[in-house]
Amino acid sequence: MPALLLHALAAHAATAPHLTPPPQYLAAGVPNPPAQAPPGLAKPISTILGWIKWGALIGGSVGLSLCAIKMMVGHRNRSSLAADGASGIPWVLLGLSLVAVSSGVVGVFL
């Protein structure tokens, strides 16, 4: 069915030249300028990004500490709290890893 639809669309495009753009507009050197901060915003944005990284550092430290406390208390009382603490560690580490590589990941797409 998709092949038939593509054939019908191609036949329609061939018989309706007013619908196809002129060749000079097709991929005519699409501009790709580098990323650039607006004037006067480079320093404040760097400060805000630094605060976000600092907050992630504090959040990761608190998260790992809470997981450790849950594991210690849960082990002592023989409850499922220890398993909850242990299962939270990969999530905290994944969040920290994502913050660490965020600028590189965004740079790939720009």
Rg (CA), the chain: 27
Please state, in angstroms and rounded to a whole number, the distance separating the CA atoms of residues 70 and 79. Answer: 10
Task: Please tell me whether the overall predicted TM-score, pTM, comes out greater than 0.75 for this model.
Answer: no
pLDDT digits (tens, 9 = 90+) for 38-68: 889 889 989 999 999 999 999 999 999 999 9
28 SS3 class: coil
If you average pLDDT over every residue of the chain, what do you get? 81
Encoded amino acid at 96, one letter = L
Please state, in angstroms and rounded to a whole number, the distance separating the CA atoms of residues 7 and 43. Answer: 55
pLDDT digits (tens, 9 = 90+) for 13-32: 556 556 555 555 555 677 77
Please state, in angstroms and rounded to a whole number, the distance separating the CA atoms of residues 21 and 16. Answer: 11
The pLDDT of residue 94: 95
Scanning the structure block, which residue is given the tokens 């499922």? 80
